[in-house]
Amino acid sequence: MDLQTEEKIPAERSKSERKDGRPLHGKVAIITGSTSGIGLGIATAFAKAGASVVLNGLGDHDAVEKTRKSLARNQGVDVQYHAANMENPDDIADMVAFAHKTYGRVDILVNNAGIQHTARVEDFPAEKWNQIIAINLSAAFHSMKAAVPKMREGGFGRIINIASVHGLVASVEKAAYVAAKHGIVGLTKVVALENAENGITANAICPGWVRTPLVEKQIVALSEKLGISIEEASVKLLEEKQPSKRFVEVEQIGEMAVFLAGSAASNITGQTMVMDGGWVAR
């Protein structure tokens, strides 16, 4: 059985590469929260690698439509959009069903949608706690619950959960975020083990600071708190946690996701791929 699986995946890759030459040609990927930041970076990397892409996320209809069309045109792939709200389990099931109905398969699922709120535990609004747990953790449970049976049908699956260094270590004022990210690291391992013999892998990517709108808000808050410029605040933010003193780029996370989705990663499962400029090394 093991040997057959090892044989099957390279053969499948060479068949698809003959058609298009791109590593993810013929694959169908859903990326949650892909109208901005890291999710959009991963969607772009997948489209460049030849996958059909289902975008998701909040945002102005015209802006989302512009992103969808330009991604499809620039990369020569089909790109769809589903407006599922990650707080709503029925929406999430509908998004997976939509991808399956549109393409007849679901190969890759990236759980990326996420939000942040910072406050000490005693000041943390309960509704913010519930919202962060719903979007950053429970949404991944609901999407995997819907997608795993579809992946089993196809005998192939790649689940990539965007956790964070906060899935491994804590910071003050991030109770819900740290709890959700630790949770998603554990959840990833469970799904990896449950599907280890099914051709389905599940891994988490754990980035350190990435300069996206989610982090920009924290840079602005720091600059206001300390009365320093935005650029000084961004340097301070990096210096405090990230030894490389450089932001991780969304393109780098996109490349890591393409690697995890490809045939070279068929035996990498239940792992945390940490991209943090040394944050958790000390």
> For binding to ligand NAD (CB under 6 A), which residues are involved?
33-39, 56-59, 85-87, 112-115, 135-136, 162, 164, 207, 209-210, 212-215
Q: Pick the closest to residue 191 from 141, 146, 155, 156 (CA basis).
A: 141
Q: Return d(Cα 105, Cα 100) in angstroms, integer.
A: 5
* Active site residues per annotation: 177
Q: Which residues contact 267 (CB under 8 A, 6 or more apart)?
A: 201
With a CB cutoff of 8 Å and minimum separation 6, the contacts of 239 are: 245
Quote the least distance from Cβ 165 to ligand NAD, whole Å.
7
Q: Which is nearer to ligand NAD, 154 or 259 (by Cβ)?
A: 259
In 196-279, alpha helices (H): 213-226, 230-241, 250-261
Shortest distance (Å) from residue 103 CB to ligand NAD: 21
The distance of closest approach from Cβ of residue 130 to ligand NAD in the complex, given in angstroms and rounded to an integer, is 12
Distance between CA 108 and CA 101 in Å, rounded? 15
Shorter beta-carbon distance to ligand NAD: residue 43 or 192: 43
Q: How far is the CB of 263 from ligand NAD (least distance, A)?
A: 25
19 or 217: CB nearest ligand NAD: 217
| AA identity, residue 237 | L
